[in-house]
Amino acid sequence: MSVTPEEKLGQVKAQEMETFLRKHQGEKHIVCLQDFPDPDAISAAVLHRLIALRFDIESDIVYAGRISHQQNIALVKLLNLDLIRYSETLDLSQYVGSIFIDNQGTTTSLTKPLEELGIPPLAVVDHHERQDRLKPEFCDIRKTGSTATIYVDYMRHGLFEFEKSEPDHVNCATALMVGIFSDTRSMIRGKEEDFLAAAFLCDYVDHARLEEILYQSRSKRVMDIIQKALENRIVKDNYSISGIGYLRLEDRDAIPQAADFLLTEENVHTAIVYGIVIEQQREMLSGSFRTSKITLDPDEFLKETFGRDVNGNFYGGGREEAGGFEIPIGFLSGGMRDEVYMKRKWEVYDQQVKQKIFRKILGGIDQEGE
């Protein structure tokens, strides 16, 4: 049987990863997740830590935002996964280098403080479109259904072996399965390599825990936010667009859930939901993009719609069928909290986002018609 290009690439990347880890044997690394990590990022990071231990590399898995999605909370608690939430009390100088998993430095607040301390980015492993924000020693960016799939591929090519008698291995395998399922819409959008990864994990997964994690109920707060997204939505040319106002940081994960829900409406192929997330005096316009239109590239759409910041970094980006954007409120963050002021501020941002999205939609339609 001939070796497929994907298999050959997987073998090469597994060898490169092993060479990279041997080079950094005995070091201590920080594994950087996006500010609001999902099961894909979490599970891939946990496997990375296990693999790195083979080379006497100590790894701390760190995120700077919050884990608030009910499925993600269940994943971390039920599988006893060890993650660190970043605060200014964490001594970043203890790390020799940084590893970015399921992100490329654009969706984590850890990038800047690490750069300021001169801690180099050593590796990026991701399945999103290339961002070119970082210049790491090792880079593995593939268009797979999940980053967890890439890490299981390393295992399939001999970089690590699970033992059924090891609880940490069983928990990691279960987390990886959740990661693959969550990022492929329960394998509906899975590619061959995702199915191969899932098949590889089957013998090690705790199926009872897997079911418990995958079928978490939505909280009342999430349901209220979804209802608000429904009430505020504007449907235009098969796009459903909804601004949902202000949210607490702990409710931020309701935004992609609302976008997923809006996408189920008849004659809608793309849903965009956004709101202003408040964390004390810091505010961030945060949004999620979901599409079922195969000719629509979320990464391209968001980058062209929202552009770049003053440092040249895109405000938004994505992968196949999904994406997100975050835009700092900046000078207007915090300050006055009276109802009239907050309402006016939201109206300005809401109209600005809609204007940019409509301009992009109508421009795309004009181009298609030409």
> What is residue 112's predicted lDDT score, i.e. its pLDDT?
93
Q: What's the whole-number mean pLDDT along residues 307-333?
A: 80
> What is residue 370's predicted lDDT score, i.e. its pLDDT?
33
Cβ neighbour number for residue 239 with a 10 Å cutoff: 21
Q: What's the whole-number mean pLDDT along residues 246-267?
A: 90
Q: What is the pLDDT of residues 341-351, one digit of tens each?
A: 888 889 999 99
With b meaning 16 or more CB within 10 Å and e meaning fewer, what string describes 345-356? Answer: bbeebbeebbee
> What is residue 288's predicted lDDT score, i.e. its pLDDT?
93
Q: How far is CA 323 from CA 14, 30, 316, 319, in A?
A: 27, 25, 7, 6
> What is residue 120's predicted lDDT score, i.e. its pLDDT?
97
- 173 with 273, same domain: the answer is no
> What is residue 337's predicted lDDT score, i.e. its pLDDT?
67
**Helices 167-183 and 39-53: crossing angle, nearest 10°?**
140
> What is residue 334's predicted lDDT score, i.e. its pLDDT?
66
Dihedral of CA 357/359/360/362: which sign? Answer: positive
Question: CA 345 to CA 130: how far, in whole Å?
Answer: 34
* 58-63 β-sheet, strand order: 84-85, 58-63, 28-32, 97-101, 121-126, 138-141
Model pTM score: 0.75
CB-based contact 370:260 (threshold 8 Å):
no
- 190 with 229, same domain: the answer is no
Q: What is the pLDDT of residues 31-58, one digit of tens each?
A: 999 998 999 999 999 999 999 999 999 9
Q: What's the whole-number mean pLDDT along residues 229-246?
A: 94
Residue type for position 134: L
Higher pLDDT, 68 or 152: 152
- 264 with 149, same domain: the answer is no
CB-based contact 98:114 (threshold 8 Å):
yes
Question: CA 266 to CA 169: how far, in whole Å?
Answer: 42
> What is residue 368's predicted lDDT score, i.e. its pLDDT?
39
What share of the chain in percent tops pLDDT 90? 64
DSSP state of 336: -
- 157 with 247, same domain: the answer is no
- 129-143, 156-170, 336-350: the lowest-pLDDT one: 336-350
> What is residue 312's predicted lDDT score, i.e. its pLDDT?
79
CATH number at residue 94: 3.90.1640.10
Residue type for position 142: R
- 208 with 242, same domain: the answer is no
Number of structural domains in the chain: 2
* 239-248 β-sheet, strand order: 234-236, 239-248, 270-279, 282-291, 322-328, 316-319
Average pLDDT over the chain, rounded to an integer: 90
Question: CA 110 to CA 29: how far, in whole Å?
Answer: 13
Q: What's the whole-number mean pLDDT along residues 332-348?
A: 79
> What is residue 369's predicted lDDT score, i.e. its pLDDT?
36
- 15 with 147, same domain: the answer is yes
- 3-12, 19-28, 325-334, 342-351: the lowest-pLDDT one: 325-334
> What is residue 95's predicted lDDT score, i.e. its pLDDT?
98
Instruction: State which of 160, 186, 214 marks the end of a domain.
Output: 214
Q: What is the pLDDT of residues 63-112, one digit of tens each?
A: 998 887 888 888 998 898 999 999 989 999 999 999 999 999 988 999 99
Instruction: State which of 147, 182, 214 marks the end of a domain.
Output: 214
Q: What is the pLDDT of residues 179-221, one digit of tens each?
A: 999 889 888 888 899 999 999 999 999 999 999 998 877 778 8
The CA-based dihedral angle spanning residues 136, 131, 31, 87, taken in that order and rounded to the nearest 10 degrees:
120
Reply yes or no on whether the pLDDT at 366 is more than 70.
Answer: no
- 172 with 259, same domain: the answer is no
Reply yes or no on whether the pLDDT at 336 is more than 70.
Answer: no
- 199 with 284, same domain: the answer is no
- 289 with 346, same domain: the answer is yes
Domain range holding 345? 221-369
> What is residue 330's predicted lDDT score, i.e. its pLDDT?
75
239 closest CA partner among 283, 193, 305: 305
- 181 with 228, same domain: the answer is no
- 229 with 339, same domain: the answer is yes
- 175 with 235, same domain: the answer is no
Instruction: State which of 159, 189, 214 marks the end of a domain.
Output: 214
CATH number at residue 273: 3.10.310.30
